[in-house]
Amino acid sequence: MSAWQAPHYRDHPLTGRIWNVAEERFVSQAELIAALAPADFILLGETHDNPDHHLLQAEIVTAMANAGRRPIVAFEMFDMTQAEALAGQLKVAPKDSAGIAEAVGWAKSGWPDWQLYRPIADAALAAGLEIRAANMSRAKARGLAQSGLDGADPGLVGRLGLDVPLADTQQKNLRQEIGDAHCGYAPVEMIDAMAFAQFARDAHIAHEISSAAGDDGAILIAGAGHTRHDRAVPLHLRRKAPGRSIVSMAFLEVSDSEQFASAYAEPFGSPALPFDYVWFTPRVDIRDACERFEEQLKKMQEGKAAAKKEK
């Protein structure tokens, strides 16, 4: 990156470096691109509000196109309720990335500003690549969280392979991740429900991209939790598309207390980073994650109280 956007720890010794997890060594950007180019599925995991992650994702999309690849570019941020509007907008205005946001109702979606994601869309459209929705609708995910496996639609269970559970260690890890993300505020039964919904979302994303991808495969734009190769989308892709090659990446924000790449495995509850490659970047926000969560929770509670008073 010629100019980092995120403000914190730009001079950190890991910032800008790319870590090959299996070989435990740093690689150049050229080496990374050479490793990605032949892969059928390229999964690019981000921190949603970090602009550098999206700029780097856009660079990779462009690099794949320059290498002669024509994969679909699928976004976690678009779900099935938006798929028709997205396709319709791109048919009418195939080069207009700005128009996508209005067409799919992005402003009401809860995702960060569309301007952060536009570089990826611009890169895809400039190369003539198809942009696709990948995610399960929120209503369907909520329904699965409420019903669990026993109450889920048998057709959906069979289509997504939801009756083949995660291994116990993977399931425990997923529950721990969700519990940590909610900073102790989520009761056990809620964590179990959210874990099943997350499992189903990963399976759905894998189903969508493996079904839509032609010979040139797919690039997935998603949160890093969806691209870890031990229990997320790559696991389901291995089930859905055996024999097709997968490379999973994460763009990770550096921490001032960690100077070694291998140390970043701990927050993932894994002895090694659960990705094939990790690209380290500056950090957007240095506040404690639970402090930020509590701020968001307070705002939500205040909003609900205000809405109740208006009634």
Name the residue among 207, 222, 200 with its Cα closest to residue 53.
222
Q: Kind and range of the H or E element at 197? A: helix 188-212
> pLDDT value at position 52?
99
**pLDDT tens-place string over residues 83-124:** 999 999 999 999 999 999 999 999 999 999 999 999 999 999
Comparison of pLDDT for 184 and 160, the residue scoring more: 160
Residue 192 belongs to a domain: yes
User: Is residue 9 over pLDDT 70?
Assistant: yes
Residue 268 belongs to a domain: yes
**Burial grade of 80 (CB within 10 A; 0-12, 13-18, 19 or more):** middle
171 falls in which pLDDT band (50, 70, 90)?
Answer: very high
> pLDDT value at position 299?
81
User: Is residue 307 over pLDDT 70?
Assistant: no
Residue 257 belongs to a domain: yes
Residue 10 belongs to a domain: no
Residue 6 belongs to a domain: no
One-character DSSP codes across 23-55: TTEEE-HHHHHHHHTT-SEEEEEE-TT-HHHHH
Give strand pairing partners of 283: 8
> pLDDT value at position 255?
97
User: Is residue 266 over pLDDT 80?
Assistant: yes
Residue 7 belongs to a domain: no
Q: Kind and range of the H or E element at 143? A: helix 138-147
Question: Residue 161 is part of which domain span?
Answer: 18-310
CATH code of the domain covering residue 218: 3.40.50.11550
Residue 57 belongs to a domain: yes
> pLDDT value at position 111?
97
Identify the three-state secondary structure at position 104. helix
> pLDDT value at position 298?
84
**Pairing mode, strands 131-135 and 18-20:** unpaired
Integer Cα distance of 292 and 295 in angstroms: 5
Find the range with the poorest average confidence among 53-57, 217-221, 299-303.
299-303
**pLDDT tens-place string over residues 275-296:** 999 999 999 999 988 998 898 8
Identify the three-state secondary structure at position 207. helix
Integer Cα distance of 95 and 8 in angstroms: 34
User: What percentage of the chain has pLDDT greater than the value 90?
Assistant: 92
Residue 9 belongs to a domain: no
Q: How many domains does the chain have?
A: 1
Q: Output 189-196 pairs: Cβ under 8 A, ≥24 positions apart.
A: 193/145, 193/146, 193/148, 194/145, 195/171, 196/144, 196/145, 196/148, 196/149
- E-state strands within the chain: 18-20, 25-27, 41-46, 72-79, 131-135, 218-223, 246-253, 277-281
